[in-house]
Amino acid sequence: MSIDVDQYWSQVPHADDDENAGATIVRKARPSRRTMFKSIGVLGGALALNIVSALPPSRANRAEAAVGNEYTNCAGYDNFSGYNDNSKICVGAPYSKSHCGGDGWFLRGSGTCWNSYATKACGNGMTKRNAWRWKFGSTPYRCADGYVATCDGSTVLRICSWPNP
């Protein structure tokens, strides 16, 4: 039985023919309401995590000061260069107010590529403490010791220098 090409195409239904309109129904799959809400929730959570991960560490993780104990004088550092001529606020390591918390103690905290913590380093042959007081000019300061570690593996001693009248 042979069918020529014209006969074959005459038997194939056309989509716009009324008599064939209901012959084959193709339904598009629609997700349920629950699936839609789950998808929106997952996408919203992912977006929120992306936004939080883009925040600088200073906003995401606040450092706090580590309150310790201190000497009421320079604890044996009287003759160190800088103290003996009143040319430095603190000696022993680089010092800055940026290493201090609001109460004048060394910051304890961490971020993307840093970690800082207080230590008992001062004492120079005496019982070690976290800090000592020193008068620079007419202003008394607290010099509090601590370490800052970075992602490259280095750990350096730093000093919090805080005017502490």
User: What pLDDT does 59 receive?
Assistant: 46
113 and 157 in a single domain? The answer is yes
Rounded Cα distance between 106 and 123, Å, is: 16
First to last CA, the chain: 111
Share of the chain above pLDDT 90, in %: 12
- In the Cβ-directed half-sphere of 107, how many Cα atoms lie within 13 Å? 23
81 and 157 in a single domain? The answer is yes
83 and 152 in a single domain? The answer is yes
Backbone phi, psi, residue 3, to 5°? -115, 130
pLDDT confidence of 58, banded at 50, 70, 90? very low
Query: What is the average pLDDT value for the chain, to the nearest integer?
Result: 78
pLDDT tens across 66-114, in order? Answer: 577 888 877 778 788 888 888 888 888 899 998 888 888 998 888 888 8
31 and 76 in a single domain? The answer is no
118 with 151: CB under 8 angstroms?
no
User: Residue 120 sits in which domain range?
Assistant: 62-163
29 and 89 in a single domain? The answer is no
pLDDT confidence of 153, banded at 50, 70, 90? confident
Rounded Cα distance between 99 and 108, Å, is: 9
157 and 96 in a single domain? The answer is yes
User: What pLDDT does 121 receive?
Assistant: 86
68 and 39 in a single domain? The answer is no
User: What pLDDT does 147 receive?
Assistant: 92
Rounded Cα distance between 5 and 112, Å, is: 72
Alpha carbon separation from 84 to 2, 139, 148, 152, 162 (Å, rounded): 116, 16, 28, 36, 20
23 and 88 in a single domain? The answer is no
> Mean per-residue pLDDT for 110-126?
86
The whole-model pTM stands at: 0.56
pLDDT tens across 8-34, in order? Answer: 777 777 666 665 555 555 566 777 888
pLDDT confidence of 60, banded at 50, 70, 90? very low
Q: Is 162 helix (H, G, I), strand (E, B) or coil?
A: strand
Q: Is a pLDDT exceeding 80 seen at residue 61?
A: no
33 and 79 in a single domain? The answer is no
36 and 115 in a single domain? The answer is no
34 membership: H or E segment, kind and range: helix 33-53
Q: Which of 35-44, 78-87, 150-159 has the lowest mean pLDDT?
A: 35-44
73 and 109 in a single domain? The answer is yes
Total domains in the chain come to 2
80 and 149 in a single domain? The answer is yes
